[in-house]
Amino acid sequence: MAIELVGLDADDTLWHNESYFRLTHQRFNDLLGPYADPATLDRRLVETMERNVRTYGYGAKTATLSMIETASEVAGQDLHAVIGEILAAGRELMAHPVELLPGVREAVEQLAERYRLVLVTKGDLFHQELKLAGSGLGDHFSGVEIVSTKTADTYRKVFRRYGVAPEATVMAGNSVRSDVLPALEAGAFAAHIPYELVWEHEAADLPENHPRLAQLNSISELPRWLEEHAAR
């Protein structure tokens, strides 16, 4: 069956994201350095993030809340000043420029000529819409699905909404856990496009020799993979 619909992840597939989170995390570590050792800070922040994602969903606002919550446990008397700094770091995380990854503009333009494209992304609705507008790529997408989690069921619902069979769809993204495994489970093809940094929360192993999995080095390889798939 020919591929009709291409699902594209956004963060770290189309544009840089994790690198900005890492910078903010570093700033948080520097700020709280006088109050706790780095390993303790890391552990507490990760635990708080994991808990808050379940309550508030993914995104910069949840990261900001988690940093404040963690600081409140360690900063003691200086908490007031520390919170001001964390809020400033959180605002910068919301406002960072949209920095497209290499080859993304050309690949998206090429793909849009032949396929319906749908952006499937987690995170904060307001922030993701800002980033898509800032990317200048919005017109190439038939739809934008901002979802709270990415499970096989999430993808099945998206495919149904666009009226395509799973086997006529490929989902491309950097996260094995969110983009690849659930799309394969839903019966779609998946293209893994690695990003240099992996958020621990998203880490997972790629399946070996899966017949519907493409392992690409860059999004620039996706148009050709689709052509070769159509020829098979």
Closer Cβ to Mg ion, 62 or 70, answer by number:
62
Question: CB of residue 17 vs Mg ion: minimum separation in angstroms?
Answer: 7
Closer Cβ to Mg ion, 43 or 201, answer by number:
201
Question: CB of residue 16 vs Mg ion: minimum separation in angstroms?
Answer: 11
Q: Verify binding: residue 24, Mg ion, rule CB under 5 A.
A: no
Closer Cβ to Mg ion, 24 or 70, answer by number:
24
Within the chain, residue ranges assigned H as helices are 18-32, 38-56, 60-74, 79-95, 104-114, 125-135, 152-161, 181-185, 222-231
Between CA 58 and CA 40 the distance in angstroms is 23
Q: Verify binding: residue 169, Mg ion, rule CB under 5 A.
A: no
User: Cα–Cα–Cα angle for 214, 158, 9, nearest 5°?
Assistant: 45
Closer Cβ to Mg ion, 74 or 100, answer by number:
100
Closer Cβ to Mg ion, 72 or 148, answer by number:
148
Between CA 88 and CA 65 the distance in angstroms is 12
Stretch that binds Mg ion, among 5-13, 50-58, 76-84, 133-141 (CB under 5 A): 5-13
> What residues does 191 pair with on adjacent strands?
172, 214
Among 5, 8, 12, 70, binds Mg ion (CB under 5 A): 12
Among 5, 7, 11, 16, binds Mg ion (CB under 5 A): 11
| 191 phi/psi in degrees, rounded to 5 | -120, 120
Stretch that binds Mg ion, among 9-17, 51-59, 140-148, 211-219 (CB under 5 A): 9-17
202, 190 Cβ separation under 8 angstroms = no
Q: Verify binding: residue 128, Mg ion, rule CB under 5 A.
A: no
Closer Cβ to Mg ion, 128 or 175, answer by number:
175
Stretch that binds Mg ion, among 104-112, 132-140, 150-158, 172-180 (CB under 5 A): 172-180
Q: Verify binding: residue 124, Mg ion, rule CB under 5 A.
A: no
Which residue, among 121, 167, 150, has the nearest Cα to 5 in the 3D structure?
167
| Residue 183: Cβ-neighbour burial (10 angstroms; 0-12, 13-18, 19+) | buried
Which residue, among 160, 199, 203, 162, has the nearest Cα to 181 in the 3D structure?
203
Residue ranges binding Mg ion (CB under 5 A): 9, 11-12, 174-175
